Amino acid sequence: MEQNLLEMLLNTDSVSGEEFALQDQLEAHMKPFADSCERDAVGDGIYTVNGKEPDNGRTSDNGKESDNGGRSNNGGSAGNSAGTGGRTILLAAHIDEIGLMVTGATEDGFLRVINAGVIRTRTYPGHGVKIRTENGILYGSVVMNPDAFKNGDMEAKHLLIDIGALSKEEALSNVRPGDTVVFDASIRHLQNGRIRARGLDDKTGVYTIMEALKRVREQGSVNTVMAAATAGEEISKHGARWVAERKRPDEAIIVDVTYTSDYDGMRDAEWGEVSLGKGPALCVNAICDKKMNRKLMKIAEQEGIPYQLEISSGKTCTDADEIHFAADGIPTALVSIPLRYMHTPAETADLQDLENTIRLLTAYLTQGE
């Protein structure tokens, strides 16, 4: 299991709107493994492995021309246009993370902030943070005072960050409004193959789709596979919409994280029982394609890959919501990585769940119809 990519993703902050530096690193990493690498104006990165003609040892079950149910792919379906008879499948996972944005400073040099994404405000007081500035990373501490937890309506606008500045002028000579802030939290390996870090939502997803793409390249497939590290999921999901509208795949699998129900305070989950270490969770709801879900379950059972089910009756609150409705409608499945303590500096996942997600995706992508 290649962990260098995961550690690279986790070590670089990428608050929504500031994904570009991390996308640069991901592109450098993925170039040797992809037939093409694309970037767009909003910060998406798309890596493609083209489908190959089936040989005597591998035949397509498709056996038909690339009509795609009457849907035009506008050049996105490289596999079909190449005559392989396979599908064009989009994998998507968001590369952005939650955080804060600087809005200004107080007269005595403390930074003021707002949220970028849905944060848990009460997890910030007393913690160290990193500020991404035009001149590099600065460090600070979130102000902790006796009233920090007495305010039942605490919001990001109530937080202040101490960077050591003595005045407003000094603070704003080092940090500009719009600079982004994340927890200064390290990657730590826990017992039983578990990992703790900031940003596992959803850099574990980016990691698994990129590793699956590498295995597809190595094993070969009749299908053309695109792996997209999307921008802006935590604030608007605009990156996923851009990718889906331009590429128009035959189908899409989104990989994100989901809440577990395996610890106190979460055991009465309404969406089903989801635990660390028991495999990826397949989402069952009206948006997720039943045929794709059945195929994923069948493959998992054939390959001996553990999986779980999560149930929802509305939107998924992931990139799947945008991709499903893009273009003329794209059949979509959601594969979720179990995660404890989401949107905190100590998100916790199980490395075996990541490996089983990669295995499931790879098996799905290398099969015909």
Average pLDDT over residues 270-278: 92
How far, in Å, CA of 86 to CA of 95, rounded?
Answer: 28
Q: Lowest mean pLDDT of 48-57, 127-136, 232-241, 324-333, name the range.
A: 48-57
pLDDT of residue 2: 65
Lowest-confidence segment of 70-79, 124-133, 307-316 by average pLDDT:
70-79
Question: What is residue 56's predicted lDDT score, i.e. its pLDDT?
Answer: 52
Q: How far apart are CA 286 and CA 267, in angstroms?
A: 25
Is the pLDDT at 68 greater than 90? The verdict is: no
CA 348 vs. chain centroid, Å, equals 15
**pLDDT on residue 83:** 52
Q: Is 69 left (phi over 0), alpha (psi -120 to 50) or beta?
A: left
Mean pLDDT of 89-93: 98
pLDDT surpasses 60 at 26: yes
Confidence band of 132 (pLDDT split at 50, 70, 90): very high
Helices (H) and strands (E) in the chain, counts: 9, 17
Mean pLDDT score across all residues of the chain: 91
E strand residue ranges, the chain: 36-39, 45-49, 88-94, 99-105, 110-116, 128-133, 136-142, 160-162, 180-183, 188-189, 194-197, 224-230, 251-259, 281-284, 308-311, 332-339, 347-350
Tell me the range of 26-35, 53-62, 76-85 where mean pLDDT is highest: 26-35
CA dist 282 and 51 (Å) reads 25
- Residue 2 or residue 250, greater confidence: 250
Let me know: does 220 contact 58? Beta carbons within 8 Å. Answer: yes
Strand order in the sheet with 224-230: 36-39, 45-49, 224-230, 88-94, 251-259, 332-339, 281-284, 308-311
Per-residue confidence (pLDDT) for residue 314, from 0 to 100: 85
What's residue 146's pLDDT?
A: 77
CA–CA gap between residue 248 and residue 233 (Å, rounded): 19
> Over 80: is that where the pLDDT of 74 sits?
no
Q: What residues are paired with 331 via a beta bridge?
A: none
Query: Given this model, what pLDDT does residue 310 score?
Result: 95
pLDDT digits (tens, 9 = 90+) for 181-203: 999 999 999 999 999 999 999 99
Length in residues, the chain = 369
Task: Supply the pLDDT for residue 81.
Answer: 39
CA torsion angle 249 313 334 345 (round to 10):
130
Residue 97 DSSP code: B
For residues 277-298, give the mean pLDDT. 96
Kindly write down the DSSP assignment for every residue of 170-205, as one continuous string: HHHHH--TT-EEEE----EE-GGGEEEETTHHHHHH
pLDDT for 3: 67
pLDDT tens figures, 153-172? 889 999 999 999 999 999 99
Q: What percent of the chain has pLDDT over 90?
A: 82
**pLDDT for 279 beyond 80:** yes
The predicted structure's pLDDT at residue 145: 82
Residue 226 CA to residue 246 CA, distance in Å, equals 12
CB atoms within 10 A of CB 258: 26
CA of 350: how far to CAs of 150, 160, 197, 258, 366, in Å? 35, 34, 12, 13, 25
How do residues 199-245 score in pLDDT, each as one tens digit?
A: 999 999 999 999 999 999 999 999 999 999 999 999 999 999 999 99
Query: Among residues 271, 244, 255, which one has the least CA distance to residue 359?
Result: 255
Question: With 50 as the cut, is the pLDDT of residue 69 above it?
Answer: no
> What's the pLDDT tens digit per position in 110-120?
999 999 999 99
Query: What one-letter code names the amino acid at 330?
Result: I
Distance CA 49, CA 64 (A): 21
Confidence of residue 80 (pLDDT cuts 50, 70, 90): very low
Distance CA 295, CA 360 (A): 11
Range 141-150 average pLDDT:
83
What are the angstrom distances between the C-alpha of 348 and each of 15, 75, 230, 269, 344? 19, 40, 22, 18, 9
Longest CA span, the chain: 74
